[in-house]
Structure 1
């Protein structure tokens, strides 16, 4: 019996490795790889496909696929409302106005342009996300940075740092860690603040070490001024509304986003509140359709690896290799943080979500320790990963190799990971 169990464990590990390889090689999209791996893992672990109702127990059909597909329902709702808010921000010209106001404030000084435009990017991505906004920001921010003599790879890195830092405070993302790992919302918020501070330190160091104080060679002409919407100061503050509601008033992410939508329309176009809200909801759903499908796949993977039969198989192995001290926890996950790259096992929006549940089942680390390890390594993935859509888009606009961005930013993102892990080790391990 022990030999059969060992063979099954090996087969599950091989399956994980094969699917990582297929995703890295772009032979199988993540949106299909995750649910397939969830079902395959359950099959290898011996979870029955279907059993008579009177027998009860977990099955592939009802638990892995059925319950798994709806496991992240809360996250999906928050994502839809986040997509709606993002669409309102775009439609009303707020994101574009923030960047242009920041550019006017910075003038033509390289340091000022680097800091202010990165901050503006972070503010925008605290409220929105997706490939469309990345393209919009890249078309404006990168030319402005290049015209000030900032090197293309550095400009690209700063845009990605801005996107990542803003994402730490995008409340639409928080529910994911509650649903997948069982993290406490207060812990998510406090860790976001710590990681945000560490990200600011990393950005400052990145600018000081890579940007010349005075303007040098212009790498790109300034973009021509186009027609833009006039946006009042109350509208410019719209991205901060959901953050304040969640962090200060303890509102849920979903309610905060809905209030933010209403506020934004009221201060920009109150006479067409119904039209703007309805069109933003429909278009927002379209924008997050791919992410929603990914959430369904992640849910199936989560239930596949958290099924009783799978946990019974993997618990001894995972329990034996998991960190049992705070120091080992920090060292291990800092060293292994590059495994979040290339759709690796520490990518929370890939195999990492499944691996996290196996870690939790081992019982050696709390949900806070496991979840924050993935959030911490997620900074490495969010800024430096060449397989990210946003990295490919930014690299294309900056005319640099996406792997050059990886080399340029990796030491700084590992630093942010280290700080987040130290914080978790001290207060939550």
Structure 2
């Protein structure tokens, strides 16, 4: 019933956006809060969903803001016009060839540029230039939009969103993006050739009929003088900085913007950058607000109540090849008019649900979204960019949609087929079972516990007391030394491991004696730890036994309070997380020597990927861990995403790519008593 109500909320928000009653900027945050209420998320958590959503995608919209800064600098300094003029000068007299060259320039520019302001500025140069050399009027708008979409495939600000929202790395996505760009380029070429063969109404640029049109065409760059040739390379600079030198998007855009201003306007560099920053923020303000709303949805679907409610909707059916091609290829026109698959509308809720349910590998989901965006960027009549282009060329958005949709529809279908055929998700497949081999102890190890000690006299006395009491409670206990994290559980003779330790702290009143019990599963993953202590001038064995028995009572009380988790631990050797969220069973922690090290549960997904306890981690997802910060790096241990790592091995390094996580809910369902 809850799932049906949530689908009704999806449908209502979609209708409100399609009919333009409620803009996406408001509809998506409202959807996040209403879905939480329907799913039964506690009222006290709604504030966390709202505030957390505002900041969770901060890296993405920060990249958009600084990308807009570079875009404004590129336009205001005259660099963009100089590039187009240079192209026009050497473009020759063949309108088709000239149009394709301008499309290539446009695509390259929009790898770095973003926002409606950049589209207006670049379009104000490219569109009249196309018409002036004889490109058919009804082709200029569609060609410009297709070129924009081609460059948007590699748009750095957009890729920052992909890596932040979906948790994928640039390296894993790049092969698919290159292939998608090739398909897009072929579609653009085919459209141009067919269009030139059919169109004969060569038109000139319409005169500006309004003062604001004249203002748009009268670019500031006209007053900027000559642009040094070296400055024309600056719009391309963020690409190598981001993709090859692995600088973050904000740094890449900032360096490029400062360099552009310094080369073209060295005496007015401060004024140029300040003016570009202010106008750039104005250009992308709607996109920033949209990212905040999307962030609220992302935070909302991570709530346990939302996760449970969305499970029937976001099943693993989407990962099947036929279903994937159907949704992201054949049904791709559903992105139009802010439809249910629109990534910048109600569709983002569907994608967030898939992420929260781990129903599909993140990199495969991003590939599907990129296929949809190929249709949405070019064809959607509700795009502000499409409306502006149609107005400037005297065309209609609906006509541009009809002439471009057949080409972009084929692009989406081929992209979906490509994602499946190239096995984009082969590095992170969905598991056929919710646990990898070696995760669980064999059946013969059920209810067997190893009780170990720290080697001290009191430690041995406490361990013997604990072992005797657990035997009386029905467990099969072995007293011996073991290191559970050294090998997986496939051949372990025990399901749980209990480490007993004594600690002494001299005080003025006497000696504070502490007896601690640390319960671990068969792979060395800590379940719980209990400590009991007492102060005596001269602690004796009787006190040790009393404290040890108190610890056992705490352990047995935990078993009574958590019967399901205790059963899976003692019968199958696995510690399930209390929140039942997907997990890779590893933890990152910074040691006193300043290194980031890892603790790995033997037999878990991180272990299966090749990660081992004690290894030094240098990079996470291709970036130095200190770029994220200590807390943010350590938090990536628990977000359930398939991160990649660079770890040290001797004098060299090796790469580790996480595969599929353990899905605790499915494990719990399979291991019923």
Q: How much does 1:260 deviate? A: 1.1
Partner of 1:170: 155
Partner of 2:377: 382
Greater CA radius of gyration, 1 or 2?
Answer: 2
1:195-221 Cα shifts (integer Å, max 9, x gaps):
2222111111111111149x9543115
Q: Which one has more relative contact order, counting CA pairs under 8 Å at least 6 apart?
A: 1
Q: Does 1:155 align with 2:140?
A: yes
CA distance in 2, matches of 1:274, 1:12: 50
Q: How much does 1:147 deviate? A: 4.1
Relative to 1, partners in 2 of residues 1:221 and 1:346: Cα closer, same or farther, differing over 3 Å? closer
Which has the larger strand fraction? 2
Q: How much does 1:223 deviate? A: 8.2
Q: 2:93 aligns with which of 102, 108, 127?
A: 108
Relative to 1, partners in 2 of residues 1:143 and 1:81: Cα closer, same or farther, differing over 3 Å? closer
Partner of 1:29: 23
CA RMSD of aligned residues (A): 2.3
The answer as to whether partners of 1:380 and 1:410 remain within 8 angstroms in 2 is yes
CA distance in 1, matches of 2:118, 2:250: 21
Matched ranges for 1:30-429 at <5 A: 30-50=24-44, 59-62=45-48, 64-212=49-197, 216-221=200-205, 227=222, 229-319=225-315, 321-324=317-320, 326-425=321-420, 426-429=422-425
The answer as to whether partners of 2:330 and 2:413 remain within 8 angstroms in 1 is no
Q: How much does 1:320 deviate? A: 6.0
CA distance in 2, matches of 1:278, 1:138: 24
CA distance in 2, matches of 1:400, 1:223: 14
The answer as to whether partners of 1:143 and 1:223 remain within 8 angstroms in 2 is no
Which has the larger helix fraction? 1
CA distance in 2, matches of 1:80, 1:131: 12
The answer as to whether partners of 2:14 and 2:339 remain within 8 angstroms in 1 is yes
Q: How much does 1:14 deviate? A: 0.9
Partner of 1:13: 7
Q: SS of 2:240's equivalent?
A: helix
CA distance in 1, matches of 2:201, 2:280: 40
Q: How much does 1:162 deviate? A: 1.4
Q: SS of 1:107's equivalent?
A: coil
CA distance in 2, matches of 1:239, 1:205: 27
Relative to 1, partners in 2 of residues 1:177 and 1:373: Cα closer, same or farther, differing over 3 Å? same
User: TM-score, with normalisation over the residues of structure 1?
Assistant: 0.90
The answer as to whether partners of 2:53 and 2:292 remain within 8 angstroms in 1 is yes
Relative to 1, partners in 2 of residues 1:108 and 1:339: Cα closer, same or farther, differing over 3 Å? same
Relative to 1, partners in 2 of residues 1:221 and 1:67: Cα closer, same or farther, differing over 3 Å? closer
1:229-277 Cα shifts (integer Å, max 9, x gaps):
3112211111110011122222221221122112212321223333322
CA distance in 2, matches of 1:338, 1:217: 29
Paired residues in the alignment total: 412
CA distance in 1, matches of 2:255, 2:177: 22
User: TM-score, with normalisation over the residues of structure 2?
Assistant: 0.58
Q: How much does 1:319 deviate? A: 0.7
The answer as to whether partners of 2:297 and 2:352 remain within 8 angstroms in 1 is no
The answer as to whether partners of 1:154 and 1:408 remain within 8 angstroms in 2 is no
CA distance in 1, matches of 2:129, 2:247: 37
Gaps of 5+ in 1: 1-5, 51-58
**Bigger shift: 199-208 or 222-231?**
222-231
**Bigger shift: 230-239 or 347-356?**
347-356
CA distance in 2, matches of 1:269, 1:22: 47
The answer as to whether partners of 2:67 and 2:112 remain within 8 angstroms in 1 is yes
Relative to 1, partners in 2 of residues 1:221 and 1:77: Cα closer, same or farther, differing over 3 Å? closer
The answer as to whether partners of 2:170 and 2:243 remain within 8 angstroms in 1 is no
1:272-316 Cα shifts (integer Å, max 9, x gaps):
333322332233223222211111111112222332211201212
